[in-house]
Chain A
Amino acid sequence: MAKQSVLGLYQNAEYAAEAGDALQAAGLTKDDYDFLTGAPYPEGAFGERHVSHRLYVFPFVGALCGLTAGILLTSMTQMAYPLVTGGKPILSLPPMAIVTYEGTMLGAILFTVLGILFESRLPRPSLGLYDDRITEGYIGVIVTCEDNQAGRVEQVLTQAGAVDVKRGEAS
């Protein structure tokens, strides 16, 4: 059966949180609905589901890649033309450490940014069901449900104080 999305718009956080409670009372789980806001609210303000992520792994992987790239870049460029200067070793570690450090940090930051996008599920080619009023301060409660449940969900959202309810194909 096809999935449907239903979006209810609320004027304040209390109504939106109550809509979440009403949806649970109607038999939906926290995985079936989410809250769309124009600003970050304190975690748990709507009684939403806990979001798990692995973002903290990304900087470590990136740092390791950057470290490897830094060591390879600094050592291979010096080894490419091994000219002894002043009797010093070809691979001079203190200057290598500086460039390698920058490479490590660059790798960590690049991977962190990739991780942020990946964990945020961005980029999204389509917005799906959405309303421009969300960035005007309205709070959206978006529900993904079976086709035959959509009418009931609309009713629950309206009863919970939604100023507008929309229906569309689930993205």
Chain B
Amino acid sequence: MQEGRSLTDREINRGLLNSLYQNPKWYWGSVTLLGVIVLGAMAAAGYMINQGLGVTGLNRPVMWGFFITNFVFWIGISHAGVMLSAILRLSKAEWRRPATRAAEVLTVFSLMTAMLMPFIHAGRPWRLFYWVFPYDWARGVFPNVRSALIWDPSAVFTYLTSSILFVYIALLPDLAVIRDRSTGVRRTIYSVLCLGWKGNSRQWKLQIIAGILLSALILPVFVSVHSIVSFDFSMAIAVKSWHSTIFPPYFVIGAVHSGVAAVVIVMALMRWLFHWHDYVRPEHFDALGRLLIVVATGWFFFFVMEFLFGLYGLEGDEISVKDFLTAQAPWSWWFITFVGTTYFIPVGMWLFKSVRRNPWLMVVACVSVNIGMWLERFLIIVPGLAQKQLFNFAWYTYAPSPVEVVIIIGTFALVSMLMLLFAKVFPLIPIYDIKEGEILKQEIKIGRRTVPAVIRED
């Protein structure tokens, strides 16, 4: 895990800050294009709010469609940050260094985007007010704590706050690097942002402990968030195919699967766009590929269990949903696509070292995972609600309207745009972490070979 040449601090500063100081044409072109797509999505959302939810494909009994699917998807992507940053930090995995910041920032932006979806879905976003304050002031009637839909924002808000603070604390030393390389107003802004960081022994000691302590504290939140998101479904007794005890771990591992895959995509793009070939190296993709095989197989286990448990009880509702998914086109085609793209295609690719070490092939595999994981959430939500079963004539199969499609595309553009804008003002790879890696990097001689090694402190 020590490929690549040794770099001096000056080279690291120059290399990792090039996203801040250089202005390539593609950058503003991309931001503008993404901004236009986001504006289009905002216009679609405005149209929907003005006209009502009738302009969507939602109708009884399928009242949750693309918006809630997208909510769960982006919550899932947000699990990348803690998975890569916290777990690898705690386990002192050396290859975490170039991945942590991008993963944490992706967490923040995907959570923000996820939180937009329920407000858009509810159709009356101004009613956000009633999630916090009594909706009946006169009698003091507060939101119902017994509802899973109230647990959800409490968990997501905790995770978002924690993730933002985690990113900020880890940014302090890097903000000082930018401050030292800036003049005028820019220097003043970064001086305020870095809170007067000097890099003395006390500050570094606390910074290192902070990384580990915050990781350890965020991990339980990370597990709770997607478990609680799964409660939105699994606590619903009325929808039989949702009412399953396996949902929390199934959702958590699915989130890790899609999140880590998304980080691979971001890392490959960073490497290509900002020429960070010295920092994001094939060895990092190799390590992530190996990790993804394990995560994907864990996810597949839960997927099979969820499917089997559904069939084993021989309950009419469950059987009808499974029949809907596996035997009725086009849903059966979506189902085959979902299983293939989530597990068989990417894992089949990751088994080969040449694929794992090729960033673009890794991107192909990881895009496949995320197509599959988006479909997974869709296939959990809609068939369960469709109620297409014997002796029930109140069923409906959902088809999204163009308004929904535009809003969903807008969320992908929004996250991409926010990541690009972040890269313009903050480094997407932690500078001090890379420098620490260089300090701890050693070569040791064993017999006739010189092999890379890393000093590790307890």
Interface residues of A (CB under 8 A from B): 34-43, 46, 48-49, 51, 53, 55-56, 59, 74, 77-78, 80-81, 85, 92, 95-96, 98-99, 101-103, 105-106, 108-110, 112-113, 116-117, 119-128, 130, 132, 134-137, 142
Q: Which of A36, A38, A46, A55 interacts with B213 by CB under 8 Å?
A: A55
Q: Which of A59, A99, A117 interacts with B154 by CB under 8 Å?
A: A99
Question: For the complex, what is the distance from the CA of A81 to the CA of B165, rounded to whole Å?
Answer: 35
Question: For the complex, what is the distance from the CA of A6 to the CA of B436, rounded to whole Å?
Answer: 26
A30 to nearest B CB, angstroms?
Answer: 10
Question: For the complex, what is the distance from the CA of A123 to the CA of B193, rounded to whole Å?
Answer: 9
**Contact between A112 and B214 (Cβ–Cβ < 8 Å)?**
yes
Q: Which 5 A-B pairs have the closest CB atoms?
A: A124-B196, A137-B9, A39-B435, A77-B142, A123-B195
B228 at the interface (CB under 8 A from A): yes
**Contact between A80 and B134 (Cβ–Cβ < 8 Å)?**
yes
Question: For the complex, what is the distance from the CA of A34 to the CA of B201, rounded to whole Å?
Answer: 7
21 contacts between A and B (CB under 8 A): A36-B198, A38-B177, A40-B432, A42-B455, A43-B457, A46-B201, A55-B206, A96-B145, A98-B154, A102-B151, A102-B154, A102-B158, A105-B221, A109-B161, A112-B217, A116-B169, A124-B195, A126-B196, A135-B13, A137-B8, A137-B10
Question: For the complex, what is the distance from the CA of A51 to the CA of B200, rounded to whole Å?
Answer: 11
**Contact between A98 and B436 (Cβ–Cβ < 8 Å)?**
no
Contact (A99, B145) CB under 8 Å given A41-B204, A55-B209, A125-B196: yes
Q: Which of A40, A102, A105 interacts with B217 by CB under 8 Å?
A: A105
**Contact between B162 and A109 (Cβ–Cβ < 8 Å)?**
yes
Given A38-B9, A81-B142, A125-B196, 20 other A-B residues pairs in contact with their CB atoms under 8 A: A34-B201, A36-B200, A39-B439, A40-B208, A49-B201, A53-B202, A77-B143, A80-B141, A81-B141, A95-B147, A95-B150, A109-B162, A110-B161, A116-B206, A120-B207, A123-B195, A130-B198, A132-B180, A132-B181, A134-B199
Name the residue among B10, B157, B181, B196 with the largest chain A CB count within 10 angstroms. Answer: B196
**Contact between A39 and B9 (Cβ–Cβ < 8 Å)?**
yes
B155 at the interface (CB under 8 A from A): yes
Contact (A53, B205) CB under 8 Å given A59-B213, A112-B213, A112-B214: yes
**Contact between B145 and A40 (Cβ–Cβ < 8 Å)?**
no
The interface residues of chain B lying within 8 Å CB-to-CB of A98 are 151, 154-155, 224, 228, 231
B330 at the interface (CB under 8 A from A): no
B78 to nearest A CB, angstroms?
Answer: 15
B184 at the interface (CB under 8 A from A): no
**Contact between A37 and B220 (Cβ–Cβ < 8 Å)?**
no
The interface residues of chain B lying within 8 Å CB-to-CB of A92 are 145-146
Count residues of chain B with CB under 8 A from any CB of chain A: 64
The interface residues of chain B lying within 8 Å CB-to-CB of A132 are 180-181
**Contact between A120 and B199 (Cβ–Cβ < 8 Å)?**
no
**Contact between A40 and B196 (Cβ–Cβ < 8 Å)?**
no
B334 at the interface (CB under 8 A from A): no
The interface residues of chain B lying within 8 Å CB-to-CB of A99 are 145, 150-151, 154
**Contact between A78 and B145 (Cβ–Cβ < 8 Å)?**
yes
B339 at the interface (CB under 8 A from A): no
**Contact between B195 and A117 (Cβ–Cβ < 8 Å)?**
yes
The residues in B between 101 and 158 inclusive whose CB is less than 8 angstroms from any CB of A are 134, 136, 139-143, 145-147, 150-151, 154-155, 157-158
Nearest neighbor of B235 in chain A, beta-carbon distance: A95
Question: For the complex, what is the distance from the CA of A117 to the CA of B162, rounded to whole Å?
Answer: 15
Contact (A53, B134) CB under 8 Å given A116-B169, A135-B13, A135-B199: no
B245 at the interface (CB under 8 A from A): no
